[in-house]
Structure 1
Amino acid sequence: MKKYIGTILLVLLCISCAEKLIEKPDNLIPKDKMVMILKDMAIVNAAKGTNLGKLKDNGIEPTTFIFEKYEIDSAQFVDSDRYYASLPLEYESLYKQVEAGLEQQREEVEAAKKVKDSLNLLKNSPKNREAVEN
């Protein structure tokens, strides 16, 4: 009898966990586009922390800029974010993709910086100065 009660409780637990908390919105942002939006928002939030004055001086509202770039509105973003957040495994997958994209972009920027630094070092080396002066 105890086996049956345990089995029934386990089945009920599984069924209740599979229940969707939030219905899929009609205007759901696709996952790949959502990843790009979240990545850009992470970059913009970092920029706001360091260069908020420059953004204001140029009349740029970062969140509005992102919504216009991806042709979405704030309600669509909130609905989509809430829906994905109600599916923890998918939400985690989205953020892992965002993290991977940010890491890849960081590596590309660092590689470009190394090339630029190397060129500047070569340009400013004593041999090149002599060649330019002669």
Structure 2
Amino acid sequence: MKILIFKLILLLIFFSGCSSSTKKPKNLISEKKMELIMQDIILIRVIEKNYNNLVEYKNWLGDKYIYEKYKVDSIQLLESEKYYAKSPKRYLKIHEDIYKNLEKLIDSIDVLSKEQIRKAKELELKNRD
């Protein structure tokens, strides 16, 4: 996770130095929506990395999923990404919010996992009696 954030910060630095123009795109994606899109992209990449041998994931996860879910197109997404990347404070805030959201998600998954383990142990003990 920390490596991913490091890569995103490097991307931020790269984009912030590419151009001095900060003209707002016509179809700019809102910061909140951009945050959600980028978070989903991160989750999709993690799923692809960990479950790349499962064909069913490949059929419905990917760029098309993002475009349909958020009703955006590739150009709009790219232009919005470039726009936010040129504003380091704003872009960093988006990434910090994504990080916080992913931390909450990880915490809730941990809680659910522990609860499932506890229930399984209780059931196992019950079945022994």
State TM-score, norm by structure 1.
Answer: 0.76
Alignment partner, residue 92 of structure 1: 92
Gaps of 5+ in 1: 1-19
Larger radius of gyration: 1
Q: Point out which structure has higher relative CO (alpha carbons under 8 A, 6+ apart).
A: 2
> Does residue 29 of the first structure (1) align with residue 34 of the second (2)?
no
Q: CA deviation at 1:54?
A: 1.7
> Does residue 107 of the first structure (1) align with residue 107 of the second (2)?
yes
For 1:1-134, what aligned pairs fall within 5 Å after superposition?
21-55=21-55, 59-125=59-125, 128-131=126-129
State TM-score, norm by structure 2.
Answer: 0.79
Alignment partner, residue 6 of structure 1: none
Distance in 1 separating the partners of 2:104 and 2:115: 17
Gaps of 5+ in 2: 1-19
Q: Percent identity?
A: 23
Distance in 2 separating the partners of 1:60 and 1:96: 28
Q: Which runs of 4+ in 1 moved over 2 A?
A: 55-58
Contact between 2:35 and 2:95, CA under 8 Å: does it hold in 1? yes
